[in-house]
């Protein structure tokens, strides 16, 4: 049976999303299955606009309930860093 993998990521500008999509493609090419999930955004829209952040993709669900991960065999985490630290969205 092929493994079912959850890929959970946060991406303000889309770079980590690109990595997550490449991971998903590789998993599926190898015969596994993978689902993408976004970490919920915690910054207000006006702050995101001042940071020139593009809109979040609507085709990737937000991981609002971590218990969803119990249905997966494994998970991969896409975590950007700023000055060597996790973003606040992962800490929330």
Pairing label, strands 4-9, 74-78: parallel
State which residues form the domain around 41: 4-85
Q: Dmax of the chain from CA atoms?
A: 47
Q: Which residue has the higher pLDDT, 75 or 90?
A: 75
Q: What is the mean pLDDT of residues 71-85?
A: 91
Are 53 and 44 a contacting pair, CB within 8 Å? Answer: no
Q: Does the pLDDT value for residue 92 go beyond 80?
A: no
CATH number of the CATH domain containing 40: 3.40.50.360
Total structural domains within the chain: 1
Question: What local confidence, expressed as pLDDT, does residue 1 receive?
Answer: 78
Q: Is the dihedral of CA 31, 66, 18, 20 positive or negative?
A: negative
Is residue 56 situated within a structural domain? yes
d(CA 53, CA 39): 15
pTM: 0.90
């Amino acid at each position: 049976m092929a493994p079912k993998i959850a890929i959970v990521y946060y991406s303000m500008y889309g770079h980590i999303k690109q990595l997550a999509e490449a991971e998903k493609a590789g998993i599926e090419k190898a015969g596994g299955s993978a689902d993408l999930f976004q970490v919920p955004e915690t910054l207000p829209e006006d702050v995101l606009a001042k940071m020139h952040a593009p809109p979040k993709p609507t085709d990737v669900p937000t991981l609002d309930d971590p218990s969803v991960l119990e249905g997966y065999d494994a998970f991969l985490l896409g975590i950007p860093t700023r000055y060597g630290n996790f973003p606040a969205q992962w800490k929330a």
